[in-house]
Structure formats: C-alpha cells, structure tokens
Amino acid sequence: MSEETTQGSPAQGAAPGLLAARLAIALAQGLILYATGEAIRAHASIVPGAIRLPLQISAVWHLFALRQMIYLVPLVPILALGALRIRTLAIWTLVAGIGVFGLASHAALRGQSVYAIGALTQFPQVLATASALFITHVLVTSAVIERRPMSSYGLYFEIAWKTATQLALALLFSAVFWAILLLGAELFGTIGIDAPARLIRNPWFYFPAGCLAVAASIHLTDLQPGLLRGARWLVLSLFSWLLPVLDLLVLAFLVTLPFVSLAPLWATHAATLLLLSAGVLTIFLINCSYQDGNVARTTSWPVSAIRILAAWELMPLTGLAGYGLWLRVAQYGWSVERILAGVVLGVMACYALGYAAATVSKPRLKHLEITNLVVAYLTVVLVLCLYSPVADPGRLMVMDQMARLKSGAVTPGTFDFGALKFSGARWGAKALAELVRIPGADDKARVIRQKAAAAMAATSPWQVARTGTAAPSPEAAARNLKAHIDVYPPGRSLPGEFYDQAFWLRMNKSVPVCTTITGADNSAGHCLARFFSPGGDQAEMILFIDAAKTQVFAQAADGHWQIAGEIADWTLHCPGMRRALTRDAPQSQPHALPDLMIDGRRFAITPPTPVPATCPP
C-alpha cells in the first residue's frame, strides 16, 4: 500500500491478497494459542477454581501473559489491513503487543497465591485491557489516516463504530459457525460415527478454526463498507429511540426521591452499581442518538431536548452513586471492587460535567465531541495505571485496610484478613506476614496474630468469611473432625490424612457435612468410618458414610489415601444399617455378572435391586 485510505476500507482489487494475509495471521494465532495451551498443561495442573503450579512457576506465568496477548493483539493487523501502510501497521502492532503483554505480565506476577493467575482471566482485567486496546486502535488509526495528531470527530466515529460492528458480527458469525459444526457432529453421532465430534474437541483444531472464522468474518464485512455503514446506522437509530424511554424512567426516579427516604436505596447493597449502570447506559444512548454530529444539525428540537435532558440527568446519577460509594468506603474502607467502582465513577463524572457544559454551548451539544475525546485518552491512562504497579487496586486496598486496622477504625474481630490474602496479591501477603509477627501480649495483638495466621493457611477465599472471621487453625479443624467421626471397629483410628481439612477439600471440594453440624447427637451429626477387607490380596479399605454421600477410600501406591468409589444406595444412612456396621465389618461378594469392556472402558452390570420407600425395620 502506498498510502492510507480515507475511510479505512481496503481497495476491492486488493481483496484476495488481504484475505490471504488475514487468514495467515489467524492461522498463526490459532497455532500459537494451541502451543501455549499445551505448554501450560505440561507445567501446571488445572483444577476447578485454581491452578496448581509446581516448579516452573515463572514460566507458566509468562505463558499466561503471552496467551492473553495472542488473543487480543492479532486483531489489530486483521482489522487494519488495507487501511494502514504495512510499515505503520507493523510498528503499531508491535507497540500494542508490548503494551498488552506488559499488563498481562503484571496481572500474572502480582502475587504468589495460586489464585493470582486466576486474576489474568478475570473479567475486569481482560475487559479493561481490550477496551484500552480498542480505544487506542481507533485513535492511532484515525491519526495515521489524516496524518495529524487530532483527527476529525467524524473519522473517529466512523472507525470506532465500524470496528465495533465488525467485532460484534465476527462474534455472531463464530457462534453460528460452531453451532453448525456441533450440529454436524451430532448428526454423524446418530449413525455411530464420532470422528467429527472428536475432531472439534481437539485443541489443535478448535483454536485455529475459531481464529480463521473470526478473520474470515472481518474480511467479508470489510468488502462491503456501504452495507456495513447502513447496518450500523440502522442499529444506532433503533437504539436512539430507547433514549426517551430511559429519560422518562430516570426522571421519574429522581423526582420521586425527595418524597421518600434514601434508606431503601442503600438497603439494596447494590445502589452504586445500579446508579453507575444507569449512567453508563445513558451515555451510550446519547451517543447513539448524536452519532457523528451531523444528525444534530438536521433533527427537530424535541430530539435535541431529549438529549439535553439525558445529559443533565447524568449529574444527579453521578452524585448519588458517589454518595453511596462514600458511605460504603467510610464504613468498610476501600476494597478492590470499590476502587474500580471509584474509577468508573470518576470517568462518569467527566462525562456528566462535559455533557452538561455542552448543552449550553453553541451550536448545542457540539462540545460533546471534545468530552468524548478527552475521556477516551483518560480511559487509556487509567487502565495503564490500574493494571500496572503504578496504581494496582490490590496495593491501594492493602494500604487503606492496614491503615484502618492500625488506627483502630476497625477491630480485629471484624477486619477482613481474607481480603489481604486473596485480593491483596503480593502486598497482601507481605501485610499478613507482618501481622503474624505483630508484637504485644494484649488480646488485640493476640487476635490479630491468630487471624492473620489462619488467613495465611487458608487455601480458598471461601475458607475465610466475609465478616472477617478467619478459618480455623489446622489443629482446631483436626479436633472438629475427630469429634464428629465415629471409627469402627472400636480402638482403631483413621490415618492422619482424614483429620486434615485440606484432604477433604482436595477430595470433595468441601468438608464432611457432619463436621458442620454442632450440638447434634444423631447420625447426621456424626460420620461413620468402617475399616474392612475387600478380600483376596487387596489391601484394607475404609467405608466412609456422611450425611451427604457414602464413599470408599483405598490407599494408593504412594501411601496416600484416595477415593476408590461411591455407593449410591441411600439406605446405608438408615439407623439399622449403621448399627449393623458398628457390629460387623461388611463382607465382599464377587459380581453376579461379569464386567464389560467397551472401547477400553470398564462397565459394571448390576442386578436390579428394589429400592425401599423407607428405611427397612
């Protein structure tokens, strides 16, 4: 390409070459995603809710950062091919890759908890990174096309909404593409051919295929800029008709507030989120109605009045949201979620002030364009600060919460030590280490040391209550398990693993139900563990009956105990059955029917057994 096009669309004659280039980029993207996925699986064991990382912990973190970069950055050249010169596009893609990889690396390296990597895939961080990349792409592309730092608002609007429409259609195209593949696999499955189903479940297929589908969709929409522009205008016009509906609802809400108390609003515990959502939706619909600014000079005064009313409604919405957030911060201090809400509130305040000023400008609402541009730059800066060491919400939260604890604004009994462990990243871990060693022989220092130590020992956020009550110590948990598990035959004791809470969390993702019932003398408040011999040369096993399930444990070759199977018959919970187990060990019997081997898997044939409606006498 010798020069950039004026509208960011490829020339028709270059379509075959652009298609090949886009598909090549998408294929490389899919293959790299597959390769990084295999590398992560080779170095880490992925379990529900967390990722267990052994030795190569730094390598896995960087693989996750690389993976996020590969998801996002290839969209830059795929979208901009034909609109920018190759050299310019290469430089911009390189800069975008460095920026995304830097933010992703910080998200992966910000803490030592196994949940730290989970932050890499959390919605807020990914959404913020993608949003900043989208905004920067529009700003850079517009500046390069017009060859000046500040482009015309019409070009910003054209590129932004064209890109957003292409991405939305690509998602829809991909969804239908996979629906067709799944339908085809099901059709073949009905006639006993499962090769298509196995194919689309393989990572080496679905990563490249998904990337190729997105690239093909973007290319097809790029060939028809007129149709794309018409579809975009239709969608925005439809959305603009929702602005008066929202105007009336918000106006009625604001008019009603002086006649009622604000207490019901704060009692929802989600008032700030609701008000921010209403403000964001108002801003979106105002821009759907305003579009590129030309419509504002040709529409009638009622349409302009609707936009002006919506712009002024942003002020009280922002004020109420700010007041609600201030109340929560004054009561509980800053959390990661409240810091992010505060950032969104600050951005919305900029929109509210800018739009209010635009309503009194001449021509009316024309300065709305300046507000949109200023907030776009501000958003990129905020994302770079929040998801880098400059203003990481975890670090800011730890600083505020530690200051509140030291000043006495919060008592150790209500302090959320779990937030330091699971939201504070490495700063929270450092703070907990300091609290464990806090000097003093008074009750306050003792409680702080105990709760900090318990929070450090916790393996999941659910082990630490939101009220700040820390998880029990390993010794207390072991005592609780021993008090609620009856072991037979008498005189026997379970292996030490069974008195370790971490063992049960690893096996069943929860502790036995009987250990959570206090003050109960019936069977629901006591588990039953029965040693028995399965016969032959097999080692001794343990039958474990809880209120929720019945499991059989066997000792593995490495000496650790693990679940060998489960018994689904609920009658084992009947008092008569439990009494029988306390007297005699269960006797093993061979299968009445042989097991079947099908495609390498064993299937047991069990004779039909009548299920009694009640416990047998």
Task: Tell me the two tokens of residue 588.
Answer: 């093993």
Identify the residue with better confidence: 599 or 51: 599
Length of the chain as a residue count? 617
Residues contacting 465, CB < 8 A, separation 6+: 418
Band of residue 11 on the pLDDT scale cut at 50, 70, 90 = very low
Q: What is the mean predicted confidence (pLDDT) over 535-541? A: 83
Cα torsion 98, 147, 371, 170: sign? negative
Q: What pLDDT sits at residue 588?
A: 81
Query: Alpha-carbon distance 435 to 424, whole Å?
Result: 14
Looking at the predicted structure, is the pLDDT value of residue 468 above 60? no
Which of 66-75, 444-453, 541-550, 596-605 has the weakest average pLDDT? 596-605
Query: Alpha-carbon distance 146 to 381, whole Å?
Result: 23
DSSP H helical ranges for 242-367: 243-256, 263-267, 271-290, 301-332, 336-358
Which of 220-234, 289-303, 321-335, 544-558 has the weakest average pLDDT? 289-303
* Percent of residues, the chain, with pLDDT higher than 90: 35
Looking at the predicted structure, is the pLDDT value of residue 294 above 80? no
- Which run of H or E residues covers position 218? helix 203-222
Q: What is the mean predicted confidence (pLDDT) over 404-420? A: 86
Of 97, 101, 80, the residue nearest 89 (C-alpha): 80
Residues facing residue 566 across a β-bridge = 551
Query: Alpha-carbon distance 476 to 466, whole Å?
Result: 20
Q: What pLDDT sits at residue 68?
A: 81
What is the per-residue pLDDT across 265-282, written as a single tens digit (0 to 9) for each?
777 778 899 999 999 999
* Percent of residues, the chain, with pLDDT higher than 70: 84
Contact 506, 459 (CB under 8 A): no
Q: What pLDDT sits at residue 519?
A: 42
Q: According to the per-residue pLDDT averaged within each range, which of 11-25, 293-307, 421-435 is highest? A: 421-435
Query: Alpha-carbon distance 374 to 250, whole Å?
Result: 26
Q: Catalogue the E-assigned strands of 156-233.
A: none
Band of residue 184 on the pLDDT scale cut at 50, 70, 90 = very high
Q: What is the mean predicted confidence (pLDDT) over 46-75? A: 63
Exposure class string for 256-286: b at 16+ Cβ within 10 A, else e: eeeeeeeeebeeeeebbbebbebbbebbebb
Q: What pLDDT sits at residue 611?
A: 56
Looking at the predicted structure, is the pLDDT value of residue 295 above 70? no
Query: Alpha-carbon distance 42 to 50, whole Å?
Result: 16
Q: What is the mean predicted confidence (pLDDT) over 332-343? A: 92
Query: Alpha-carbon distance 185 to 190, whole Å?
Result: 9
Site of tokens 């609007």: 157
Q: What pLDDT sits at residue 400?
A: 94
Q: What is the mean predicted confidence (pLDDT) over 81-109? A: 89
CB under 8 Å, gap of 24 or more: what pairs does 429-434 form?
429/111, 429/112, 429/113, 429/456, 431/398, 431/402, 432/456
Of 329, 333, 455, the residue nearest 400 (C-alpha): 333
Of 455, 448, 497, the residue nearest 473 (C-alpha): 455
What letter would DSSP give residue 586?
A: P
CB under 8 Å, gap of 24 or more: what pairs does 52-61 form?
52/114, 53/114, 53/117, 60/117, 61/105, 61/108, 61/109, 61/117
Band of residue 590 on the pLDDT scale cut at 50, 70, 90 = confident
Cα torsion 358, 239, 130, 220: sign? negative
Q: Mean pLDDT in the chain?
A: 82
What letter would DSSP give residue 539?
A: P
Looking at the predicted structure, is the pLDDT value of residue 329 above 80? yes
Q: According to the per-residue pLDDT averaged within each range, which of 207-216, 418-427, 528-537 is highest? A: 207-216
Q: What pLDDT sits at residue 55?
A: 36
Using DSSP's 3-state secondary structure scheme, residue 566 falls into: strand
Band of residue 520 on the pLDDT scale cut at 50, 70, 90 = very low
Which of 284-298, 343-357, 468-482, 494-508 has the weakest average pLDDT? 468-482
Q: What are phi and psi of 537, to 5 degrees?
A: -100, 15
Query: Alpha-carbon distance 269 to 290, whole Å?
Result: 34
What is the per-residue pLDDT across 485-515, written as a single tens digit (0 to 9) for each?
899 998 898 998 898 887 887 787 777 877 7
Q: What is the mean predicted confidence (pLDDT) over 227-251? A: 90
Of 132, 124, 68, the residue nearest 336 (C-alpha): 124
Band of residue 133 on the pLDDT scale cut at 50, 70, 90 = very high
The gap between the terminal CA atoms of the chain, to the nearest Å, is 88
Cα torsion 158, 159, 160, 163: sign? positive
Q: What pLDDT sits at residue 461?
A: 63
Looking at the predicted structure, is the pLDDT value of residue 75 above 90? yes
Of 612, 517, 609, the residue nearest 573 (C-alpha): 612
Amino acid at 195: A
Q: What pLDDT sits at residue 525?
A: 63
Query: Alpha-carbon distance 247 to 308, whole Å?
Result: 10
Q: What pLDDT sits at residue 522?
A: 44
Band of residue 49 on the pLDDT scale cut at 50, 70, 90 = very low
Band of residue 456 on the pLDDT scale cut at 50, 70, 90 = confident
Q: What pLDDT sits at residue 228?
A: 84
